Amino acid sequence: MFIIECPWCGKRDQSEFSAHGEAHIQRPQDPSVLTDEQWGDYVFFRDNPKGLHFERWNHSHGCRRWFNIARNTASSEIYLSYKPGEKRPQVDIT
């Protein structure tokens, strides 16, 4: 168990949240010009790094709002959380 900070509600137990994969995925401007391979990459393939990862989370048993977190996938340490629409923050994990 670990603690996650919702940008609206503050620190809460992990059990109140659900993870929804990589953050900052941009929908293609014009999907009709993509090849099947490019569309497949957009729909199905995500980064899976060991270390810093930006993820979408939902406070599903709280305010139900979406937000992003910067998390270390190796240690599960959460560096920070921020509201959707905000730029990807610089995170120094050294």
What are the residues binding Zn ion (CB under 5 A)? 6, 8-9, 59, 62-63
What gap in Å lies between CA 39 and CA 54, rounded to an integer?
Answer: 22
Tokens of 63: 């305010």
- Comparing CB distances to Zn ion, the nearer of 52 and 62 is 62
Give the residue with the Cβ less far from Zn ion, 46 or 61.
Answer: 61
In the bound state with Zn ion, the residue whose beta carbon lies nearer, of 14 and 52, is 14
Radius of gyration of the chain (CA): 15
The amino acid that residue 46 corresponds to is R
3-state secondary structure of 31: helix
> What's the min distance (Å) between Cβ of 65 and Zn ion?
5
What is the rounded CA–CA span in Å between residue 26 and residue 28?
A: 6
Residue 34 or 62: which CB sits closer to Zn ion? 62
Q: How far is the CB of 60 from Zn ion (least distance, A)?
A: 9
Q: Rounded to the nearest whole angstrom, what is the least distance from the CB of residue 52 to Zn ion in the complex?
A: 23
Q: How far is the CB of 81 from Zn ion (least distance, A)?
A: 10
